[in-house]
């Protein structure tokens, strides 16, 4: 990895300190949350005296016991599953769309191509919240009749709506990745006898695995973390709406919510730690220059 | 093994004309080099033969078949790219097998053919490696193997040697020529390196700005160039050109330098009535004599010893001319010398059209 080495040594210490101080509030916030989940009472107001370590909260979270007393129970497993369904649905849909659209925009010439590429950036800047009234109207207008379908429909609708918000950026990303592959690979495939689709499937896709992973990951997290669309359209609960609903409820034992919150955080942290390796790996060789 | 015929090929990219009415015939089993500077359209022409590009107008024939509308996979061509384009996520074996797998050939047949062609190119021990584990020369053999494994009718090569180091280039050059002759496969070879073209090809097509200027054997394009450009493009160091006027049966280059019109041109000069010409001669076809005498007079500008001979750069008026001289002779900067050109090796080009006088009429 190349870099110029012009930074004077004496500033390094000060720089590291500054960065540390800048990130400190964040670190403190998250640490308090995680610690609270292991304590009998919340310590988020720096009240360390009330820190009584226990893993009760975590057991209760998985059992679904919301309150210490009384019998309020939730199906924690279902809630986590719902969040997973939304996240995976968004991820799958966005990846599928962007991997095909990115290729088309990168490699094929057709009328309106330039406009499409420009509009990708414009669409990405559009805040999802601003659209919500229109999207909700469409939701009500197309609401199905049967009882059974309603819950399925709300899932499908949330996934499609949330995915739509991620598509412009993802298509842009995928197009960028496709752009980096020299034309010779495609020509070679075509000469060898592959159809355009086979070239796409067997040659291009394997070459941009890091890109596909990045898009799949980011859209998964977008789906996992979503609160607004899930709150508006989904009839069932996900972790996000669960936490929101119970934060100030009378019967809630807050450290439990802290545990749920930490649970909610987990995929994001894990992905960012592990996926880095794969994302940074490139494919070398096979071509000169 | 087929012959390839290009008829009135025009290829435009938007407003840019890459190929301007190209007509070319490549005989069965022939090694044809497409020689030209960067951007001349030679790769475009190659890809048109391959089918990657469709001509804007014109036709491509393989033997008597009109293949203009056929996609590449139906033309049975093999293409070796300048930067090899080996699929990095596949082993060497899978790379070579890819064309056959696409044809849904049976497993045993694929295995047999892959191993055969790998053996022929001396890469049979590398089949389980990945492209990034191979040297440039090895990667290039894999690229050639992949092109040959489907037993194509035509082998197309796009500057395959330009990414190899100089020494390796010479080695592979000889091997490629040998391989083509052994297999008897019609080959079209794109290059900007004139030495490569002269060394390998049966015939050379010289291309400039989308037009074919001359097609001929290496001898023909080297010794009998039709255009000043062709004369200047082949040969290293390139052909020397001096402007001259025709006066009283003589070629006048400067006040001090007038030489008689060469025998082979006397009739043509009279017939065509040309008055202004370019005088062309190659550095090996002239001698340098010290002092001023009959011939082309100039001043020594520089000299480069090369071992058993030296290149003397001489300025004649404002032009620069290079001539070979034996190693023993010693020259001084600014020294006056006379260049004596072997008469029958001189080539005259019409100044206006830059065509060789022999070809001016037709």
Report percent pLDDT > 70 for chain A.
91
Looking at the complex, report in whole angstroms how far the Cα of residue B337 sits from the nearest Cα belonging to chain A: 47
Which among A193, A207, A288 is the nearest to B163, CB-wise? A288
**Cα-flanking dihedrals φ and ψ of residue B70, to 5°?**
-80, 140
* Residue A142: Cβ within 10 Å count: 9
pLDDT at site B154: 95
Which among B83, B99, B163 is the nearest to A193, CB-wise? B99
Domain with CATH 2.40.50.140 in chain B: 239-360
Is domain B4-232 annotated with CATH 3.90.1300.10? no
Residues of B in contact with A182 (CB under 8 A): 83, 85
* Residue B66: Cβ within 10 Å count: 12
Looking at the complex, report in whole angstroms how far the Cα of residue B74 sits from the nearest Cα belonging to chain A: 8
pLDDT at site A130: 86
Domain map of chain A by residue range?
10-54, 76-244
Looking at the complex, report in whole angstroms how far the Cα of residue B181 sits from the nearest Cα belonging to chain A: 23
Looking at the complex, report in whole angstroms how far the Cα of residue A185 sits from the nearest Cα belonging to chain B: 5
Confidence of residue A68 (pLDDT cuts 50, 70, 90): low
CB of A189 within 8 A of CB of A198?
A: yes
Q: What is the pLDDT along chain B (362 residues), one digit of tens a residue?
A: 699 999 999 999 989 999 999 999 999 999 999 999 999 999 999 999 999 999 999 999 999 999 999 999 899 999 999 888 899 989 999 999 999 999 898 999 999 999 999 999 999 899 999 999 999 889 999 999 999 999 999 999 999 998 888 888 988 899 999 999 999 999 999 999 999 999 999 999 999 999 999 999 999 999 999 999 999 999 989 999 999 998 888 888 887 888 888 888 888 888 888 889 999 999 999 999 998 888 899 999 999 999 899 999 999 988 999 999 998 888 899 999 999 998 889 999 999 989 998 887 65
Confidence of residue A289 (pLDDT cuts 50, 70, 90): very low
CB of B73 within 8 A of CB of B103?
A: no
Burial bucket for residue A12 (CB in 10 Å: 0-12, 13-18, 19+): exposed
B114-120 contacts, C-beta under 8 A, 24 or more apart:
B114/B145, B114/B149, B117/B145, B117/B148, B117/B149, B118/B92, B118/B93, B118/B145, B120/B145, B120/B148, B120/B179
ipTM, interface predicted TM-score of the complex: 0.79
Summary count for chain B: helices (H), strands (E): 10, 20
Q: Map residue B135 onto helix, strand or coil.
A: coil
Are B136 and A289 within 8 A, CB to CB?
Answer: no
Q: How far is CA A283 from CA A210, B57, B131, in A?
A: 9, 39, 10
Q: Is B291 on the interface with A (CB under 8 A)?
A: no
Is domain A76-244 annotated with CATH 1.20.1050.10? no
Are A287 and B99 within 8 A, CB to CB?
Answer: no
pLDDT at site B247: 87
Confidence of residue A279 (pLDDT cuts 50, 70, 90): low
Compare all CA atoms of chain B with the CA of A183 and give the residue at the minimum distance: B85
3-state SS string for B285-345 = HEEEEECCCCCEEEEEEEEEECCCEEEEEEEECCEEEEEEEECCCCCCCCCEEEEEECHHH
Are B87 and A184 within 8 A, CB to CB?
Answer: no
CATH no. of B239-360: 2.40.50.140
pLDDT at site A269: 85
Compare all CA atoms of chain A with the CA of B75 and give the residue at the minimum distance: A191
Confidence of residue A72 (pLDDT cuts 50, 70, 90): low
CA dihedral defined by B141, B142, B146, B151, rounded to 10 degrees?
Answer: 40
Residues of A in contact with B134 (CB under 8 A): 285
Give me the total of CB pairs closer than 8 Å, taking one residue from chain A and one from chain B. Answer: 88
> Which parts of chain B are beta strand (E)?
4-13, 16-26, 31-35, 57-62, 65-66, 77-80, 154-158, 186-191, 203-208, 211-216, 240-247, 250-252, 258-260, 276-281, 286-290, 296-305, 309-316, 319-326, 336-341, 347-350
A117-175: per-residue pLDDT in tens?
999 988 888 887 888 888 899 888 888 877 778 888 999 999 999 999 999 999 999 99
Q: Is B168 on the interface with A (CB under 8 A)?
A: no
Looking at the complex, report in whole angstroms how far the Cα of residue B85 sits from the nearest Cα belonging to chain A: 5
Compare all CA atoms of chain A with the CA of B132 and give the residue at the minimum distance: A285
Confidence of residue A255 (pLDDT cuts 50, 70, 90): confident
CB neighbour list of residue B271: distance below 8 Å, 6 or more residues apart = B361
CB of B337 within 8 A of CB of B294?
A: no
A171-198: per-residue pLDDT in tens?
999 999 999 999 999 999 999 888 889 9
Instruction: Return the closest-CA partner of residue B140 out of B187, B95, B185.
Output: B95
Q: Map residue A142 onto helix, strand or coil.
A: coil
pLDDT at site A239: 87
Mutation to test the B interface, candidates A114, A195, A202, A286, most B Cβ within 10 Å: A286
Are B85 and A188 within 8 A, CB to CB?
Answer: yes
Domain with CATH 3.40.50.300 in chain B: 4-232
Angle of CA points B116, B118, B119, to nearest 5°: 65
Confidence of residue A245 (pLDDT cuts 50, 70, 90): confident
**C-alpha to C-alpha distance for B166 and B233, rounded to whole angstroms:** 20
């Amino acid at each position: 990895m190349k870099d110029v080495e012009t930074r004077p040594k004496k500033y390094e210490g000060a720089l590291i300190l500054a960065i540390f101080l800048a990130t400190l509030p964040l670190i403190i916030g998250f640490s308090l949350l995680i610690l609270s989940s292991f304590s009998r009472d919340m310590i988020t107001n720096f009240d360390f005296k009330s820190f009584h370590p226990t893993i009760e909260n975590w057991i209760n979270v998985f059992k679904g016991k919301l309150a210490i007393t009384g019998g309020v129970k939730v199906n924690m497993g279902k809630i986590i599953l719902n969040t997973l369904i939304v996240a995976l649905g968004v991820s799958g849909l966005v990846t599928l769309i962007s991997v095909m659209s990115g290729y088309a925009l990168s490699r094929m010439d057709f009328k309106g191509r330039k406009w499409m590429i420009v509009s990708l950036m414009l669409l990405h800047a559009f805040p999802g919240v601003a659209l919500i009234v229109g999207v909700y109207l469409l939701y009500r207008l197309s609401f199905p009749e049967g009882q059974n379908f309603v819950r399925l429909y709300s899932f499908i609708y949330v996934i499609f709506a949330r995915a739509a918000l991620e598509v412009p950026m993802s298509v842009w990303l995928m197009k960028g990745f496709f752009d980096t592959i020299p034309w010779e690979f495609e020509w070679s495939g075509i000469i060898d006898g592959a159809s355009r689709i086979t070239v796409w499937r067997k040659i291009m896709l394997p070459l941009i695995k890091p890109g596909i992973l990045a898009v799949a990951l980011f859209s998964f997290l977008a789906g996992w973390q979503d609160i607004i669309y899930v709150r508006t359209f989904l009839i069932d609960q996900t972790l996000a709406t669960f936490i929101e609903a119970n934060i100030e409820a009378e019967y809630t034992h807050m450290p439990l919510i802290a545990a749920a919150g930490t649970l909610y955080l987990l995929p994001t942290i894990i992905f960012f730690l592990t996926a880095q390796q794969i994302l940074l790996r490139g494919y070398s060789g096979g071509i000169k220059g | 093994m087929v012959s390839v015929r290009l008829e009135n090929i025009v290829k435009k990219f938007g407003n840019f004309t890459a190929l301007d009415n190209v007509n070319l015939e490549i005989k069965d089993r022939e090694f044809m080099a497409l020689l030209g500077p960067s951007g001349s359209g030679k790769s475009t022409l190659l890809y048109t033969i391959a089918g990657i590009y469709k001509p804007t107008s014109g036709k491509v024939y393989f033997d008597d078949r009109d293949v203009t509308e056929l996609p590449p996979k139906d033309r049975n061509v093999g293409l070796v790219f300048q930067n090899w384009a080996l699929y990095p996520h596949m082993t060497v074996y899978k790379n070579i097998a890819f064309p056959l797998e696409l044809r849904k050939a049976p497993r045993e047949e694929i295995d047999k053919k892959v191993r055969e062609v790998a053996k022929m190119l001396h890469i049979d021990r590398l089949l389980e490696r990945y492209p990034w584990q191979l040297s440039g020369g090895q990667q290039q053999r894999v690229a050639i193997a992949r092109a040959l494994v489907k037993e194509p009718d035509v082998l197309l090569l796009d500057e395959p040697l330009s990414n190899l180091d100089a020494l390796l280039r010479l080695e592979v050059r000889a091997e490629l020529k040998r391989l083509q002759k052994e297999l008897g496969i019609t080959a079209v070879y794109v290059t900007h390196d004139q030495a490569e073209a002269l060394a390998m090809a049966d015939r050379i097509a010289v291309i400039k700005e989308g037009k074919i200027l001359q097609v001929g054997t290496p001898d023909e394009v080297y010794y009998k160039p039709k255009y000043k450009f062709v004369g200047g493009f082949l040969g290293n160091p390139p052909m020397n050109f001096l402007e001259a006027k025709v006066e009283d049966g003589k070629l006048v280059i400067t006040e001090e330098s007038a030489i008689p019109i060469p025998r082979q041109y006397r009739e043509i000069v009279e017939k065509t009535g040309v008055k202004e010409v370019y005088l062309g001669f190659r550095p090996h076809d002239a001698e340098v004599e010290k002092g001023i005498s009959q011939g082309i007079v100039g001043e020594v500008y520089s000299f480069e010893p090369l071992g058993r001979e030296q290149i003397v750069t001489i300025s004649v008026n404002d032009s620069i001319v290079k001539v070979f001289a034996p190693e023993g002779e010693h020259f001084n900067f600014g020294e006056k010398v006379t260049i004596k050109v072997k008469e029958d090796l001189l080539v005259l080009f019409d100044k206006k059209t830059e065509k060789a006088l022999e070809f001016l009429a037709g």
